[in-house]
């Protein structure tokens, strides 16, 4: 028997889970994203949960009482349990940094892919698919390589060779399609669902968010149940930020905590789709804009999880801000110099966001803050080549300098 039901975020209709059910058909695939709802009252009473000793380095499956899948493989044992560091930054003592670059495929996306793979295997699927130019695809390919199930990835033909190579090395079947990301995404959804393949599109399949929410659980247990006042995170499609809210909300719901932090989404000024919808106010609606940013992972004009990302962040008392590409590059280098953490552009934006909010006096130096860094800087070396300031020196001149 399933440990959860599904509920449409717009019309509130409830569904029993079944294979192939990804969204509320009445409301459509953007407005009708589903929430996975557990029996929180029962979980609250379970002594195994109330008295559970959490482990700061265990995988995310230590939270399986609030997950729609169980740990299945040895790779799963290394998904989650990522570092929570504390650094004095920008005048604030002990800024928390949740660093997800040490997951098996070096990004936050592994939390979602692991759940998708385990559910797909349980349902007996022979293929799992997604459209992605980046972290979601490589995460799926890496974590699924060792199973019997096939991985199919749809990418725009124009993606960088390095990213394509990574997918091929993990044995995925790659369709490099002539078209924009949005076109490829929509087409993959149509074709994949027609084939009956398992869908790893985080903003459509509600189970993906369930994996991602474990980042919030880990922030709580790794900080000894002290909930920060603010969480900052980069936002593209809106799934990670939604998942963080749900994680904090669920731990409160089952009585393990009594507070939800204000969650602040950081977008790129060049393509701030969700911020536009959020600032316009309720009722939240879909949006499709054009624009660009160097922060590849949050360069999204047609965000697929916009309804959750607005509804949840409003409920948390949070809001959205933007950074220019210049501010994003500065975020990478300043964060690196102060902490050693090398973040991909979209991973570094929470640092720039914090800097801006301190400057604007929206966050004070006595507030407690957590930055969520979603990906390893090695994911996108190209983006940072512009920061180089070093000049070449001859051996002779070097010797002179050391005289």
Which residues in the 100-119 window bind a copy of itself by CB under 8 A?
A: 102-106
398 is an interface residue for a copy of itself by CB under 8 A: yes
336 is an interface residue for a copy of itself by CB under 8 A: yes
91 is an interface residue for a copy of itself by CB under 8 A: no
Q: How far are the Cα atoms of 135, 218, 345 from residue 267, in angstroms, in the given order? A: 17, 24, 11
Rounded (5°) CA angle 151-65-59 = 55
Binding to a copy of itself (CB under 8 A): which residues in 357-396? Answer: 376-379, 381-382, 384-385, 387-395
For the CB of residue 125, give the shortest distance to a copy of itself in the complex, in Å. 17
- How far apart are the C-alpha atoms of 135 and 105, rounded to whole Å? 8
Span interacting with a copy of itself, options 14-22, 121-129, 215-223, 336-344, rule CB under 8 A: 336-344
Please list the alpha-helical segments (H only) found in 57-198. Answer: 110-122, 135-144, 161-169, 181-195
Contact residue for a copy of itself among 171, 196, 291, 317 (CB under 8 A): 171
Structure tokens at 110: 């592994």
400 is an interface residue for a copy of itself by CB under 8 A: no
CB-nearer residue toward a copy of itself: 5 or 90: 90
Span interacting with a copy of itself, options 212-220, 248-256, 316-324, 330-338, rule CB under 8 A: 330-338
Contact residue for a copy of itself among 57, 93, 280, 292 (CB under 8 A): 57
Binding to a copy of itself (CB under 8 A): which residues in 182-221? Answer: 183, 187, 191, 194-195
Structure tokens at 155: 């990418």
Contact residue for a copy of itself among 143, 189, 202, 363 (CB under 8 A): 143
- How far apart are the C-alpha atoms of 96 and 12, rounded to whole Å? 35
How far does Cα 238 stand from its chain's mean position? 8
β-pairing verdict for 230-234 and 369-373: parallel
- Are 64 and 76 contacting, i.e. CB atoms less than 8 angstroms apart? no
CB-nearer residue toward a copy of itself: 72 or 276: 72
Q: How far apart are the first and last CA of the chain?
A: 76
């Amino acid at each position: 028997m399933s440990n959860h039901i599904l509920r449409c975020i717009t019309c509130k209709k409830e569904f029993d889970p079944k294979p192939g059910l990804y969204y509320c058909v009445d409301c459509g695939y953007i407005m009708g994203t589903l929430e996975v709802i557990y029996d929180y009252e029962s979980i609250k009473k379970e002594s195994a949960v109330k008295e559970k000793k959490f482990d700061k380095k265990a995988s995310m499956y230590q939270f399986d009482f609030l997950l729609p899948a169980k740990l299945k493989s040895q790779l799963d044992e290394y998904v989650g349990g990522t570092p929570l560091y504390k650094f004095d930054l920008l005048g604030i003592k002990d800024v928390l940094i949740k660093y997800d670059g040490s997951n098996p495929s070096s990004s936050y996306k592994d939390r979602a892919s692991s759940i998708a793979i385990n559910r797909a295997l349980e349902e007996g699927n022979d293929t799992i698919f997604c459209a992605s130019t980046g972290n979601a695809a490589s995460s799926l390919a890496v974590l699924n390589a060792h199973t019997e199930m096939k991985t199919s990835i749809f990418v725009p033909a124009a993606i960088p060779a390095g990213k394509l190579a990574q997918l091929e090395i993990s044995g995925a079947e790659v369709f490099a399609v002539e078209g924009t990301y949005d076109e490829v995404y929509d087409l993959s959804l149509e074709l994949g669902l027609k084939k009956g393949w398992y869908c790893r599109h985080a903003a459509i399949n509600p189970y993906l968010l369930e994996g991602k929410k474990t980042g919030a659980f880990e922030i709580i247990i790794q900080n000894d149940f002290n909930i920060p006042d603010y969480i900052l995170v980069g936002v593209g499609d809106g799934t990670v930020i939604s998942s963080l809210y749900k994680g904090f909300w669920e731990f409160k719901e089952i009585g393990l905590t009594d507070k939800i932090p204000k969650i602040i989404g950081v977008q790129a000024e060049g393509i701030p789709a969700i911020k536009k919808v959020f600032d316009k106010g309720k009722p939240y609606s879909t949006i499709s804009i054009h624009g660009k940013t160097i922060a590849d992972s949050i360069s999204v004009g047609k965000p697929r999880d916009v309804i959750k990302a607005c509804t949840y962040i409003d409920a948390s008392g949070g809001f959205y801000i933007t950074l220019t590409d210049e501010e994003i590059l500065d975020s990478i280098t300043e964060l690196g110099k102060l902490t050693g953490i090398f973040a991909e552009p979209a991973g570094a934006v929470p640092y720039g966001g914090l800097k801006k909010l301190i400057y604007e006096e929206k966050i004070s130096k006595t507030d407690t803050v957590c930055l969520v860094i979603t990906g390893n800087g090695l994911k996108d070396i190209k983006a940072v080549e512009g920061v180089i300031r070093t000049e070449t020196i001859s051996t002779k001149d070097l010797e002179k300098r050391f005289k």
